[in-house]
Chain A
Amino acid sequence: MGGTSKLLLSAAVAVLAGPVPALAAWQPQKPIEFIATAGPGGGTDNIARAVQNIITKYKLTDQPIVVVNKAGGSGAEGYVYGKASAGDPYKVIFGTSNAWQQPLVSKVAFNYTDLTPIAAMAQDEFLLWVKQDSPIKTAGDYLKAAATGDFKMGGAQSKDTDEVLTRMIEKAGKVKLTYIPFKSGAETAVQLAGGHLDSHVNNPSESIGQWRGGTQRPLCVFSPKRLPQGAKVTATEGWGDVPTCAEQGLDIKQYEQPRTVWLPGKVTPDQAAFYIDLMKKVQATPEWKDYIEKTSQVDTFLTGAEFDKFIKEDLEHLRLVAGEQGWLVK
């Protein structure tokens, strides 16, 4: 091993060891509970369990970790639990943008300000899907067809990300859609395959099996640029072959859903720093890359001021849509 690589290695160690003062300041002394705000098998549950496995495999902490599902009330159960556990640094809540979106449109007994933000770790993309044998080939076709009749758009939950996006499509495309809420993206995908809906806006992982199986196909992705190519999903196409919605004339440049990690409120900065550092270490592992690729998400890491800025912007945007729809609760 040459001198340079030794130097690089020690530099890498130094980078990893960067937050050591924080580590020294606080270490968990008892088992840690991961609260997934979704049922077993859902996207949020998957990420909590993936993080748990990585931490256990690399022994990133000495303490055992258990994953608990608190999926009731579209995840509100988990957040309310987090709020009630104020000051307890042994409860880590895994959620989505629900944490700040739900309190805006529904009378739930928590707000994201009751929790301590740790990080946004992955972004799920949204695509516009139609049934495989639909005559619609592009987003342009879709808007034309939707303008003539009443189109049925399915999605997971009411006044949640899927419905917000649906309302944005209505506005951008000057069409009217009938939104029908189901319990989950998986259920929505099956309804589209059965021809009971005209379209939905599922995340890649929610419909990949259906696309591969030839029951539905994506028209376009709500992202500023095409997704990374990756492996082919069908015989001829992969995620990278799906055009962006903006390039097809449906002018919504970006719409994403972050996977978020929180601590209860009133924890010390040291305790928060420990978990921020822990999540950073998780993200550096090959297993994490593997998880991101398998679920077709985008790897990101927002924390501190950046995360805060992201939340504020998203809230601003949602308040606009929700205000127009008359969803705001007060």
Chain B
Amino acid sequence: MDNLGELLHGFAIAVTVPHLALMVVGVLLGILVGVLPGLGAPNGVSLLLPLTFGMQPVSAIILLSSMYWGALFGGSVTSILFNIPGEPSSVATTFDGYPMARDGRPTTALATAFGSAAFGALIGVILITFLASWVAQVALAFGPAEYFAVYFLAFASFVGMGGAAPIKTVVALAIGFAIAAIGIDTVSGSVRLTMGVDELVKGVNFVVAVMGLFGIGELLVAVEEEFHARAVSSKIDWREVFRAVGRLPRHSVALLRSAAIGCWMGITPGGPTAASFMSYGIARRFSRRGRYFGTGEVEGIISPETADHAAGTSALLPMLSLGIPGSATAAVMMGGLMIWGLNPGPMLFVDQKDFVWGLIASMYVGNIVAVVLVLLTVPVFAALMRIPFVIIAPLIVIICVVGAYSVSNSYLDVVMMLGFGVVGYLFKKLFYPLAPLVLAIVIGDKAEDAFRQSMLMSKGSLGIFFANKLVTCLIVGGIALLLLPLVLQLARLFRKPAPPTNETIAQEKVII
């Protein structure tokens, strides 16, 4: 256990008063940028980066990574309270977090989210500690075909998911793909779907789309359906924070499954956003209470949050050991590493032991600091729900407009955000699902690039997706997930149309 010794040495570096102070500062700043939509972790870290040039590399990375943890936690707050995801990766948290908060249980929702997030992060760090060298090899095995297979798996876990008619899911996906295609195409280098608007060459930013679809869209629905002049009468109870965290172990299956999905996507690097969506989709399918998802289910919060943080944490591993960033924030930090005079890559673990293990130890400590701080803030945030709708609604509009504008200081983004608000409203009224739309906007272009790169490599043969064990497993897994609802339906047809009990569901699983 060489690694263990190194880790203890790392703790000696990380647990010093100045470093602990840096962690607290970093986490608080991170919560702030995470809560403010549009700012987000990558921007926050790049704003802070110039301040770190005079620091020791270890201190600098501790400050930046603490900010990253803080932002990951903070991103969930607005998703749960106002249905505005502060971070792309916290979109999936809105699906059940927001209904639960509206239901008068914001404290439970926030505490559950933070607790499971901390669990996910912890699993991610443990993975980094013990499997660093092995994991590096796994990531290298990913070529374009394997990337496509991973994205395919993420999409497959969503199509046909209960709730919406499968055809509506496909329509939502298709619209999302079209939006993802706007801008310059990586493979051909040509400009697509800009419709004569010069500025659209940059493509549609994810934050702009999400704030419109969720924040503004939800607002429009709320205004129409009933006048929420009354605030949600949420009791603020300190004990509920601990009760919610204490209830987590009951959902250990969901926690472990989501952490596994998160680690996998963080390493490969599918990223935290794809991880949280996939985890939510799979939980919805395999949870016993799957059909209640979307109405404020506890596991609907646990699954995306755990996966998000497990992925966010393990995304730092490919950055350190290979020099590939697993997320946008990791990419900014990598720029920082080079400026501090460190070269990310396999040699970092050999040349810069103090730095690497100091950082890994700080992940343990930093996450504990972060979870304590955010749990302390839960009642404060939950109290926001008591503010009457007439005050909160304009605030939400302001947050969305400022957030959209600050993405790239562009008015067009504000206009597009409002347009997406209308789209979000229409989707809700016509019972089209938003999740597949968002998923396609986020990873649609990546999936397309990967597919076309694979086709270039194989000269147009689909055989490349069955060329080795890894890619074959991923593709077959994706197809299986895709066909699962169809098979279940067929199985149901052969039976009497009796309400499915737990027993029949179990049998159906055996059939597959």
Contact = CB atoms under 8 A, between A and B. Distances in A.
Interface string A209-243: 11011110000000000000000000000000000
Interface string B257-297: 00000000000000000000000000000000000000000
B190 A106 contact: yes
Contact of B457 (A45, A49, A196, A208): A196
Contacts of B50: 49, 52-53
B345 A212 contact: yes
Interface string B362-392: 0000000000000000000000000000000
A183 interface: yes
B457 A152 contact: yes
Among A69, A159, A190, A327: residue with most chain B CB under 10 A: A190
Interface in B67-90: none
Contacts of B334: 41
Given A53-B50, A73-B183, A74-B189, A191 B143 contact: yes
A106 to B, nearest CB: 5
B61 to A, nearest CB: 14
B186 interface: yes
A69 B32 CA distance: 21
Among A68, A73, A157: residue with most chain B CB under 10 A: A73
A327 B190 CA distance: 10
A41 B345 contact: no
A71 B42 CA distance: 14
A105 interface: yes
B423 interface: no
A71 B332 CA distance: 14
A80 interface: yes
B323 interface: yes
A40 B336 CA distance: 10
Contact of B186 (A108, A158, A215): A158
B189 A181 contact: yes
B408 interface: yes
A94 to B, nearest CB: 14
Contacts of A183: 186, 449
A189 B346 CA distance: 13
A96 to B, nearest CB: 15
A163 to B, nearest CB: 8
Contacts of B345: 209-210, 212-213
Contacts of B106: none
B409 A74 contact: no
B113 to A, nearest CB: 27
Interface in A168-186: 178-183, 186
Nearest to B196: A109
Interface string B195-217: 00011011101000000000000
B408 A70 contact: yes
A171 to B, nearest CB: 20
A299 B341 CA distance: 19
A105 B185 CA distance: 13
A77 interface: yes
Given A45-B335, A159-B189, A178-B456, A77 B199 contact: yes
A194 B323 contact: no
A62 interface: no
Interface of A: 39-42, 45-46, 49, 52-53, 68-74, 76-77, 80-81, 84, 105-110, 150, 152, 157-160, 178-183, 186-187, 189-191, 193-196, 205, 208-210, 212-215, 294-295, 327
28 contacts: A40-B328, A41-B331, A45-B335, A73-B191, A73-B201, A73-B203, A76-B184, A76-B191, A80-B199, A109-B198, A157-B189, A159-B189, A178-B457, A178-B459, A179-B456, A180-B457, A182-B186, A183-B186, A186-B323, A190-B139, A193-B322, A194-B139, A194-B143, A209-B323, A210-B323, A212-B345, A212-B347, A327-B189
